[in-house]
Amino acid sequence: MIEADRLTKRYGDTVAVDDLTFTVRPGQVTGFLGPNGAGKSTTLRMILGLNTPTGGSVTVDGIPFADRPRGLRHVGALLDAQDVHGGRSAAAHLSALARGNRIPPRRVDDVLEEVGLAKAARRRIGGFSLGMKQRLGIAGALLGDPPVLLFDEPLNGLDPEGVLWVRGLFRRLASEGRTVFVSSHMMGEMEHTADHLIVIGQGRLIADQTLADFSARSAGTGVTVHTPELDALAAVLTAEGASVRRENSAVGRVTGLSAARIGELAHLHRIVLHELATQTSSLETAFMELTADSVEYLAGDPR
């Protein structure tokens, strides 16, 4: 569990992180979302004791990370996949990390296998693609088999197969009861990755809720339902406060309830559903609406 309490970081006049209070719980994937410059990396660095807060505090399982000897066994982190010594091989890089944290050397082969880099173990990192470096960074985070894992923009540079693999890995790590905290500046990346979202803008907390609640809160968000019993379903959903717009006799667009809640209600009333889909674009819209006032750099109109 990660607990931030009024966490603040200033750089001169810039308030990078502004009075942030949140808890990241074990057993689920928590997305850490915010536009560029929102303060995500600074927050992650403070969790790891790499930056000192100007105010407030942050602890990992009750104590500041910096107070833990052999930290990699407790928190694994991927901060910047490019920040590696290009002259070393993948195996040599991980072996050095293992030695420094008194991790058994056999873990190096295990994690290289896990991230799909076993065949590239002896190759120089300098020749790696960004996607391979991300995999190596993830291997480093997994090395100490830690209960808490932090990943800063881990999907950058991964191909579609790599993205699927990372999502599956995060789910598995969470299902093992670990705390998994993943930053991104793109809502779409989090949609199929996170169970819970912490959204920040200009260093401040904007939202701290489940993905389902987050997607339901925007007025523009909708859920498309496909059912042979649209009349019956519409009656049930309307009674729960939702509004239902009919696209045709079997397809309706629902606003005001999450897909999860609609599924539960359909089950409760024994109504057959053929499809239940949250609109992807609406999630992106919800995120953009929410963070619109806090975007640091807005592109001007083309002249």
Ligand X SMILES: Nc1ncnc2c1ncn2[C@@H]1O[C@H](COP(=O)(O)OP(=O)(O)OP(=O)(O)O)[C@@H](O)[C@H]1O
Interface residues toward ligand X, by CB under 6 A: 11, 14, 16, 34, 36-42, 185, 296
SS (H, E, C) 174-200: HHCCCEEEEEECCHHHHHCCCCEEEEE
**Minimal distance, residue 286 CB to ligand X, in Å:** 19
Identity of the residue, 156 or 210, whose beta carbon is nearer to ligand X in the bound complex: 156
Whichever of 42 and 95 has its CB closer to ligand X, that residue is 42
Residues 299 and 36: beta-carbon distance below 8 Å: no
> What does the block give as tokens for 163?
């993205």
- How far apart CA 75 and CA 301 sit, in angstroms, is 44
**For residues 202 and 218, which CB has a smaller minimum distance to ligand X in the complex?**
202
Nearer to ligand X, 204 or 253 (CB): 204
CB of 270 to ligand X, least distance (A): 46
Which residues are paired to 182 by β-bridges? Answer: 31, 151
Nearer to ligand X among residue 11 and residue 130 (C-beta) = 11
The answer for 153, left when phi > 0, alpha when psi is -120 to 50, beta otherwise, is left
- Least distance in angstroms from the C-beta of 192 to ligand X: 20
Name the token pair of 286: 């919800």
Mutual orientation of helices 130-142 and 160-175 as an angle, nearest 10°?
10
Min CB(188)–ligand X separation in Å: 15
In whole angstroms, the minimum distance from the beta carbon of 209 to ligand X comes to 19
Cα 156 to Cα 134: distance, rounded to the nearest angstrom: 8
Please report how close the Cβ of residue 190 comes to ligand X at its closest, in angstroms: 13
Between 270 and 297, CB nearer to ligand X: 297
How far is it between the farthest Cα atoms of the chain?
A: 66
Residue (39 or 162) nearer to ligand X, CB: 39
Q: Which is nearer to ligand X, 80 or 275 (CB)?
A: 80
- CA 52 from chain centre, in angstroms, equals 23
- What are the C-alpha distances in Å from 163 to residues 157, 159, 184, 193? 9, 6, 13, 10
Please give the Cα distance from 291 to 185 (Å, whole number).
11
Q: How far is CA 68 from CA 50, 80, 253, in A?
A: 13, 22, 51
CB atoms within 10 A of CB 19: 15
Q: Could you please report the per-residue DSSP string of 161-178?
A: HHHHHHHHHHHHHHHTT-
Residue recorded with tokens 């905290």: 181
How many Cβ atoms sit within 10 Å of the Cβ of residue 83? 9
Q: How far is the CB of 205 from ligand X (least distance, A)?
A: 13
